[in-house]
């Protein structure tokens, strides 16, 4: 197993390249899915008599 300092250096190197993009992407995807589910939940009752 590699030394922990090597793993930390590799994690820091990838963290600088990625930035906060994955957090923002996750929040946007979760928001869109939540909006679709909320719309489906609210609108499903309109089709019933």
Q: Encode pLDDT of 4-28 as tens digits.
A: 666 566 666 655 555 677 888 899 9
Q: Give a yes or no: residue 35 inside a domain.
A: yes
- The residue that leads in pLDDT, 14 or 47, is 47
Q: Give a yes or no: residue 38 inside a domain.
A: yes
Q: How confident is the model at residue 29 (pLDDT cuts 50, 70, 90)?
A: very high
Quick one: which of 20, 42, 40, 21 has its CA closest to 32?
Answer: 40
Domain that holds residue 41: 19-49
Contacts 24+ apart (CB under 8 A), 28-33: none
Q: Give a yes or no: residue 9 inside a domain.
A: no
Average pLDDT over residues 25-43: 94
Instruction: Report pLDDT for 30.
Output: 97
pTM as predicted: 0.54
Q: Give a yes or no: residue 42 inside a domain.
A: yes
Q: Give a yes or no: residue 44 inside a domain.
A: yes
- Structural domain count, the chain: 1
Q: Give a yes or no: residue 34 inside a domain.
A: yes
Q: Give a yes or no: residue 12 inside a domain.
A: no
């Amino acid at each position: 197993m590699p030394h922990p300092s090597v793993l930390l250096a590799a994690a820091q190197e990838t963290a600088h390249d990625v930035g906060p993009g994955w957090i923002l992407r996750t929040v946007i995807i979760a928001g869109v899915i939540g909006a679709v589910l909320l719309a489906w939940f609210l609108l499903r009752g309109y089709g019933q008599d």
